[in-house]
Amino acid sequence: MLHCFQIFGASPYVSMMKRITLLLCFWGLLSISSAQETDAEEGGGEEEVVNLFTTPRTKLAAAMSDFGYNLFRQLAARDTKASVLLSPVSMSAAFTQLSMGASERAEKQLHRVLRYHNLHDIQLHDTLRDLLTSLRASTKGFSSVERILLARKLRLKLEYLNAVEKQYGERPQMLMGGPRDQKSVNDWFKQQTGGKVDRVLATPLPRSSEVVPAGVAYFKGKWKTRFSQVGKMDEFRLDGEAPARIAVMQQSNYPVKMGIDSDLGCTIVQVPMEDGVSMYFFLPDEVTQNFTLIEEALTAEFVQDLANTLHSVHLQLTLPVLKLSYSTDLLGLLSGLGLSEWLENTDLIKISAQTPKLSTVRHKIVMETAPEGSQYASTTPSGQSLSLSYRVDRPFLFLVRDEPSGTLLLIGKILNPRDLASV
């Protein structure tokens, strides 16, 4: 479902009615016409996807993103009072590697959950490999690494190990069944991420572990426009608790794209970053932990529509300085995605003649934001600014998205930035 967006400031310190009064003369310019919304709805869901995502790469990116939104909903629902992070890219790539070892029936089950079933791309693995290469360009500030960990006792089939290595550049790692596995796995991921992500396995794997998909991601992108004020401590309002004190970065006359979705009860800002990456902030109107409406609305199609319909403005922007680390086991969420039957019989016949079971699904993300950027904000006030202010000073949801491909790189719900603070 497409929504109609209108723009106004989100500062808690200025009356909303005053904002609306200031913006009346811009209302027609900044509102999305109902005709546009009606045309989009009449087009139908499937047709709209085809229109928005027309190449094998963008169709694959949309599929990976929708898998990510589905997985994120499961993750957020597991504990509604917890901050969470997810990198769909790393987990999608890990399960794609795993699907290479499945029977035709099991591969179809996995591909449906990964949202590949409508792609009809006979070069799926080549498309994914090329997309991953472009997303991992150093200028984007994003890196992801994935690996399948397999127990040596399964008597692994060499054909599968070679096929994964040939397609994705790394062989699955064999687990010997002892505490040394923890060190070897952690050392490998730490090396692959340039030391940015360590302790992917916080505790040793059980000796009975058989199949462990693992994916990690690190993100530190650069803004297009730098922040001149950083490090000031400010209040971050919490739901039912005393405010937390966090470091923030601020900049006046900052160029963003902005809008409000009255159906979802939130204000949305898209902040441009280097090399086609954007960070989207979804800020609920009230200090609340009820993000369900926003979470349920998120799809690749919806966010692509956002990118096309938010309005360019300049404003006083205040963002938290984020240094976050998050690690979790995703195994318990797979049933909610439709993999209950597959988990009972993985049918990974190309990996082993035995019947291997998934032991855990390891995922870890480290991300940070910094004030640096390649451009300075204009010192000349913009006629569109209207003294607008957007302060991310309460629980929020965010996306990091690669605009050229439409790939969802990261998604997070932050109820308190200190919950996931990395040291």
Q: Quick one: average pLDDT of 381-393? A: 73
Q: What is the pLDDT of residue 9?
A: 39
Do residue 215 and residue 249 come from a single domain? Answer: no
Q: For residue 89, name the pLDDT band (cuts at 50, 70, 90).
A: very high
Euclidean distance between CA atoms 146 and 68, whole angstroms: 15
Q: For residue 36, name the pLDDT band (cuts at 50, 70, 90).
A: very low
Q: What is the pLDDT of residue 283?
A: 96
Do residue 337 and residue 293 come from a single domain? Answer: no
Q: What is the pLDDT of residue 381?
A: 58
Does residue 61 sit within a domain? no
Q: Which tops the pLDDT comparison, 61 or 378?
A: 61
Do residue 312 and residue 337 come from a single domain? Answer: no
Do residue 96 and residue 183 come from a single domain? Answer: yes
Do residue 23 and residue 165 come from a single domain? Answer: no
Does residue 68 sit within a domain? no
Q: What is the pLDDT of residue 166?
A: 96
Do residue 21 and residue 86 come from a single domain? Answer: no
Range of the domain at 226: 5-33+222-322+369-420
Do residue 304 and residue 412 come from a single domain? Answer: yes
Q: Quick one: average pLDDT of 59-72? A: 98
Q: What is the pTM of this model?
A: 0.88
Do residue 194 and residue 105 come from a single domain? Answer: yes
Do residue 303 and residue 239 come from a single domain? Answer: yes
Is the pLDDT reported for residue 78 higher than 50? yes
Q: What is the mean pLDDT of the chain?
A: 87
Residues contacting residue 385 through CB under 8 Å, at least 6 positions apart: 253, 313, 314, 315
Of the chain, the percentage scoring pLDDT greater than 70 comes to 85
Q: For residue 423, name the pLDDT band (cuts at 50, 70, 90).
A: very low
Q: Quick one: average pLDDT of 213-227? A: 95
Q: What is the pLDDT of residue 386?
A: 55
Q: Which tops the pLDDT comparison, 5 or 132?
A: 132
Distance of alpha carbon 200 from its chain centroid, rounded?
A: 19
For 27-31, 110-114, 162-166, 332-336, which range has the lowest pLDDT when averaged over its residues? Answer: 27-31
Q: For residue 392, name the pLDDT band (cuts at 50, 70, 90).
A: very high
Strands 223-225 and 373-375: parallel
Euclidean distance between CA atoms 3 and 26, whole angstroms: 19
Residue that has been written with the tokens 């300049």 in this structure: 314
Strands 244-261 and 266-272: antiparallel
Nearest one of 108, 111, 109, 116 to 63, comparing CA atoms: 116
pLDDT digits (tens, 9 = 90+) for 319-333: 999 999 999 999 999
Domain count for the chain:
2
Is the pLDDT reported for residue 14 higher than 70? no
Token pair listed for 353: 């003649």
Do residue 161 and residue 226 come from a single domain? Answer: no
CATH number, position 271: 2.30.39.10
Is the pLDDT reported for residue 101 higher than 80? yes
